[in-house]
A and B are shown apart, each in its own frame.
Chain A
């Protein structure tokens, strides 16, 4: 038996909204420690890694580890029915064929219960080594989201350069070229603050289309941490009370 009660159901709604355009069918691994998932997008360019810690749920029980194959598209449809103030219970019997979702209103005035049919999915688990990155950028998630969105109007590729003092977001398109440079600072204003942890200068190119999809998670966390090393995928990490959502994106290489 697996059962998890989340008092703040909105966070689950936001998580699923943040991944549904990247991955449509995923295996959730449930254990006594956590609910987790790892899934690549269809083109194998981006990877989503989610961990929700059991200890952060109001109630949590998992008698034996289980893999739950879920259509994210259909889960998103059901979660749309849950109110923003609702609590959410996730429940599955051992060797389950359905995932039960129970949404309960704040004053217990209304309860919705749905059984989502589970899928049997092949999983493609990537072995991602723990590694030290050359540069780590911690900045406002909404500011990063805004920069990516605005630069998308110029072209589809973001050139990201980080040195010890600043980070530069540069683009080059048919209409011209441009860049936005932000200097490391410890401003009191969260949208201005930028922390750099750089051992080596890096300069890499990434598809803005994917970064824009990742930035849907900016509703989950005020900060985003970008980890960069030459010639390996960039990691965008959004941490929140319940756990963390990480996105990996393979860099673009010059032809």
Chain B
């Protein structure tokens, strides 16, 4: 989901 994709950064 867009949500997941945006929280993979530090």
A associates with B: no
Point out residues on B near A: beta carbons under 8 Å: none
